[in-house]
Amino acid sequence: MTQPAPSRRHAIADDLRSQISKGRLKAGERLPSEAHLATHYKVSTPTLRNALALLQGEGLVEKIHGSGNFVRHPLRRTTYVGGGHVQSTPALAEEPLHTTIRTTNLRAHGHLTALLKVSPRSPLTEFHCLSHEGKTPHSLARIYVPRDLASADVPEGLLPARLPALRVPLAMVQETVSTRLPTPSEATTLRISPTLAILSITRVATDTTGRVVEAALLTLPGDRADAVFTTHHPTEARRAEQ
């Protein structure tokens, strides 16, 4: 049976993908302009952009507004392991992840009121953490803490390990994991296609009095993240002791 011919956008994506895999288009290299590529492949600009969107969704190409489309460097993956993260070991040529942190004092509103179980306009501190691999955005975390527990000393990392510094006995840490499409703001901040699914993690820490001491919203692009869940079951020996 004759296979249907691939659509023009898939054919263009296949050709560019092949050039990237064979090293003809190198990591960090800027692609020709969209107008030039559309002329080269004899397609309309919307068709060409649809082809590039396929490569953006695969993490092979990133679009930097005002600069053009670039071949992405191979992205390391992040494995999220309940309450923390373990990064793959970078190759010697890879740059280490670095995080920029912006601190803002605000008042609880909307979903933050329910998330932190506080009254509207309660004082909070937000830590907006954006991790980069070289010049490429890697992951995003927004951490909210009651103002009286906030500390100016925030270490770098995907999810700053602030809880030990709070010196409060924790009773429960609850994490909700889901996949969804990014918001327009998240897609722009992380330079990903709006059609690329993200791993969305909401982490809420509660102390022994029932107070929420931290709520973190993590956004991890689906092309570079895994989530691992491990359940420890008691051994037969432990059961016998009980």
The pLDDT tens digits of the residues spanning 111-160 come to 999 999 999 999 999 999 998 887 778 889 999 999 988 765 554 444 44
What pLDDT digit, counting tens, does each position of 157-171 carry? 444 445 445 556 788
Which residues, in sequence order, are CB contacts of 238 under 8 Å at separation 6+?
none
Kindly state the tokens that stand for 58: 């695969």
DSSP β-ladder status, 225-228 and 78-81: parallel
Distance CA 59, CA 61 (A): 6
pLDDT in tens, 169-190: 788 889 999 999 999 999 889 8
The pLDDT of residue 238 is: 56
Angle at 55 between CA 51 and CA 57, to 5 degrees: 110
Distance CA 99, CA 107 (A): 25
Looking up tokens 């068709």 gives 47
pTM above 0.95, yes or no: no
